[in-house]
Amino acid sequence: MKLNEISDNPGARKGRTRVGRGIGSGLGKTAGRGQKGQKSRSGVAIKGFEGGQMPLHMRLPKRGFNKPNRLEFAVVNLCDLQRAVDAGRLTAGQTVDEAALKVAGLVTHPRDGVRLLGRGELSAKLDVVVAGASAAAKAAVEKAGGTLTETHQRTMADAEA
């Protein structure tokens, strides 16, 4: 016996039922869809309808709130900055702001500003000017000999969120 000779037992796999193929098949004419109405037509699916019972998505409790005017920052990590310096897209000692990050290809859409986060290592001395930064990122930039300036002033509402 070879692998290409292995097959299922006869009758182990049932073929696809072809509906709408004549009265003798038992599934001719209406093809098992019943008579008339929305569900007998093609392209119709009544999603979430449970026969008049309250649907699951309406039975579950609603939670949370999306603040419509929240600020959305573009995120840059320390490892991204270091990679750009190693590749020559940023130079050590230069001031790194939104425009420089855009030219270096680290940010495409700055949105409400750029936020620097502390993932990875930074060894290059950079003067970074961003809208916001995490405490770990600030410490890493200063440890590398650079400076970090935050342009976005946090309000009490931001601190609570």
The pLDDT of residue 131 is 92
The pLDDT of residue 155 is 59
Residue 50 lies in a domain: no
Residue 132 lies in a domain: yes
Residue 144 lies in a domain: yes
Look up the pTM and report it.
0.57
Q: Report how far apart the first and last C-alpha atoms of the chain are (Å, whole number).
A: 68
Question: What is the number of structural domains in the chain?
Answer: 1
Rg (CA), the chain: 31
Lowest-pLDDT choice from 4-8, 31-35, 62-66, 151-155:
151-155
In the chain, alpha helices (H): 56-59, 78-87, 98-104, 135-143, 156-160
pLDDT tops 90 at residue 92: no
140 confidence band (pLDDT: 50, 70, 90): very high
102, 105, 99: which is closest to 151 by C-alpha?
99
Residue 54 lies in a domain: no
Residue 63 lies in a domain: no
160 confidence band (pLDDT: 50, 70, 90): low
Amino acid (one-letter) located at 57: H
Residue 78 lies in a domain: yes
**Per-residue pLDDT tens digits for 32-75:** 999 998 888 887 778 888 888 999 999 999 999 999 988 999 99
Q: What is the share, in percent, of the chain residues with pLDDT greater than 90?
A: 61
Give the structural domain span for 100: 74-160
- The token pair that represents 102 in the structure block: 């855009």
